[in-house]
Amino acid sequence: MLIKQENKAKLLISCPDKPGIVAAISTFLYEHGANIIQSDQYSTDPEGGMFYMRVEFYLKDFDISFQTLKKAFGTIAEKYNIDWKLESAATKKKMAIFVSREDHCLLELLWKWSSNELAVDIPLVISNHQDLQKTVESYGIPFHYIPVTKQTKQEAEEKAIQLINSNNIDFIVLARYMQILSADFVSQFPNRIINIHHSFLPAFIGANPYAKAFDRGVKLIGATSHYVTDDLDEGPIIEQDVLRVNHRYATDQLRVAGRNIERITLARAVSWHADDKIIVYGNKTIVFP
Q: Which of 197, 263, 185, 203 is nearest to 225 (CA)?
A: 197
Contact 238, 272 (CB under 8 A): yes
Q: Is 233 a catalytic residue?
A: yes
Buried-state track 88-123, b at ≥16 Cβ within 10 A, e below 16:
bbeeebbbbbbbbebbbbbbbbbebbeeeebbbbbb
The answer to whether 246 touches 219, Cβ cutoff 8 Å, is yes
Q: Could you tell me which residues are beta bridge partners of residue 283?
A: none
Active-site residue identified among 83, 233, 275, 276: 233
Residues 6+ apart with CB under 8 A from 13: 25, 51, 52, 53, 54, 77, 82, 83, 84
Name residue 56's beta-bridge partners. Answer: 10, 38
Are 74 and 62 spatial neighbours (Cβ–Cβ below 8 Å)? Answer: no
The H or E element containing residue 94 is strand 93-99
Q: How far apart are CA 30 and CA 16, in angstroms?
A: 23
Which positions are catalytic? 233
